[in-house]
Amino acid sequence: MATAWKPSPVIKIYEALGAVADGRVEIDGDTARVTSSDKAKTYDVRHDPGAGSITANDNGSYWQGYLGYPGIAYLMERGVLAYDDGLTAGLAGVPWKELATRYRNDWAKVEKHVREVLSEKGVDLDRFDAGLAEISSRLEDLALTKLSPRLRPPK
């Protein structure tokens, strides 16, 4: 029996929206390559729509058991995961890797920082939060399972 993904942390939805906003998702049929915000790594995503399975080789997907931002971004770009494209605007150009390093992978601090930037850009945070909750709910409703074989994350 296929293994279900753990729920993705909401910060991974922010990151996925950022990847979409930056045009870092390159789709080729049921696969994609997603480039990291600092352009240092490229992640591979594979999807089997018929089986309702997906895999990606980012650290979250590989080590933590939740679908990470490359997989989520792929699902958004393919139209499998509906989202309000107005949510992407404020997230273009966010230096995720730099923020993760600065805040020592404390994602709550990264999120606080990004929300301050969004607020400065005039983003309606209530509308933004409602959009994130909707995406999170839709992602869980997809009930995707882990597609084998899994690929190790890039070095």
Res 1 pLDDT > 80: no
pLDDT band at 151 (very low <50, low <70, confident <90, very high): confident
For 122-149, give the DSSP string: T--HHHHHHHHHHHHHHHHHHT-EEPSS
Angle, helices 125-142/10-21, rounded to nearest 10 degrees: 100
pLDDT for the residue 28: 97
Segment 71-94 shows an average pLDDT of: 95
109-120 confidence digits (pLDDT tens): 999 999 999 999
Residues 121, 127, 131: CA angle, nearest 5 degrees: 110
Segment 67-76 shows an average pLDDT of: 98
Rounded Cα gap, residues 129 and 142, in angstroms: 20
pLDDT for the residue 43: 98
pLDDT for the residue 2: 80
pLDDT band at 155 (very low <50, low <70, confident <90, very high): confident
Segment 16-45 shows an average pLDDT of: 97
Segment 24-45 shows an average pLDDT of: 97
